[in-house]
């Protein structure tokens, strides 16, 4: 799989799910994840199908977080699994050959994840974050550089990334960057996407 650049994760957005997905399609954002932890299954499926309909046939891949069953129901492009979620092997029984991304939080976890041959790995949190329940210790830039050198699949830098530190992340060699709060805690979603796609693509 090729590097994909900006990876937007939807959690408690200030803008509507529809307008976020439409903006991602229009601006050519390659990865859009639905990550909602407190919605009913019914509501999650409704939103997943809405995002699927908007992104279908576009450059924007739709990623479902945590839930293999709902990823399959909504015909997502990817399922994203973390260390506390079901294993890739278990997920395969539900999602078949759907692409899968795995979260990692240490060099050891990266080594173990690579053996499972996911389509990409998330690595972080690079910096402290409160957008995740019980976040792991920040991994920092030096470990991020090490992982970027080790991995033969796309590595997604995640956690505490904002305009103030994006240049440090890019200078470390990261080609794929996931963010929650910078894009969710604003009513200027489209403007921020434009700003970031320009910034990341310039590098
Ligand atoms: C791209 C990406 N990387 C990491 C995560 C975190 O997944 P996980 O550790 O399972 O934590 P939750 O997001 O489920 O709270 C992610 N979602 N996406
Ligand atoms: C889901 C997740 N996994 C590791 S850090 C994180 C949250 C990232 O959110 P933010 O970009 O707002 O720090
Ligand atoms: Mg998870």
Q: Does residue 1 belong to any structural domain of this protein?
A: no
What does the block give as tokens for 105? 């939080």
- How does pLDDT run across 55-67, given as a tens digit for each residue? 999 999 999 999 9
The bridge status of strand 61-65 relative to strand 5-10 is: unpaired
Q: Annotated binding site for Mg(2+), which residues? A: 66, 85
> Is cis: bond before 3, omega within 30 of 0?
no
Q: Does residue 173 belong to any structural domain of this protein?
A: yes
What does the block give as tokens for 137? 């210790």
pLDDT score of 105 = 98
Which pLDDT band holds residue 199 (cuts at 50, 70, 90)? Answer: confident
Q: Which residue has the tokens 């200030």?
A: 14
Q: Does residue 56 belong to any structural domain of this protein?
A: yes
pLDDT score of 203 = 52
- How does pLDDT run across 76-118, given as a tens digit for each residue? 999 999 999 999 999 999 999 999 999 999 999 999 999 999 9
Residue 69 to residue 55: CA distance in whole angstroms: 19
- How does pLDDT run across 122-144, given as a tens digit for each residue? 999 999 999 999 989 999 999 99
Total structural domains within the chain: 1
Q: Quick check: 202 pLDDT over 90?
A: no
Mutate to test the pocket of ligand 1, among 8, 11, 29, 35 (most ligand atoms within 8 A of CB): 35
Residue 149 to residue 93: CA distance in whole angstroms: 32
5 CB near ligand 2 (under 6 Å): no
pTM above 0.90, yes or no: yes
Residue 87 to residue 53: CA distance in whole angstroms: 28
Q: Is 168 exposed, middle or buried (0-12, 13-18, 19+ CB in 10 A)?
A: middle
Domain of residue 111, CATH code: 3.20.20.70
Complex ipTM: 0.99
Which range marks the domain in which residue 194 is found? 7-202
160 CB near ligand 2 (under 6 Å): yes
Q: Does residue 19 belong to any structural domain of this protein?
A: yes
């Amino acid at each position: 799989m090729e590097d994909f650049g900006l990876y937007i994760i939807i959690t408690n957005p200030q803008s509507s799910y529809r307008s976020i997905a439409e903006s991602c399609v229009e601006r050519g954002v390659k990865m859009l994840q639905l990550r909602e932890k407190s919605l009913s299954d019914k509501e999650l499926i409704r939103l997943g199908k809405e995002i699927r309909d908007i992104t279908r046939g576009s450059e924007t891949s739709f990623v479902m977080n945590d839930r293999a069953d709902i990823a399959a129901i909504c015909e997502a492009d990817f399922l994203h699994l973390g260390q506390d979620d079901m294993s890739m092997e278990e997920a395969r029984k539900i999602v078949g050959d759907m692409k899968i991304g795995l979260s990692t939080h240490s060099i050891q976890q990266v080594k173990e994840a690579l053996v499972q041959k996911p389509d990409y790995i998330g690595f972080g949190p690079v910096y402290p974050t409160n957008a995740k329940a019980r976040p792991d210790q920040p991994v920092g830039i030096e470990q991020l550089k090490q992982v970027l050198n080790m991995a033969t699949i796309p590595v997604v830098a995640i956690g505490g990334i904002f305009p103030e530190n994006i240049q440090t992340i890019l200078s470390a060699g990261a080609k794929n960057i996931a963010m929650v709060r910078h894009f969710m805690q604003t009513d200027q979603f489209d403007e921020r996407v434009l700003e970031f796609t320009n910034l990341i693509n310039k590098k």
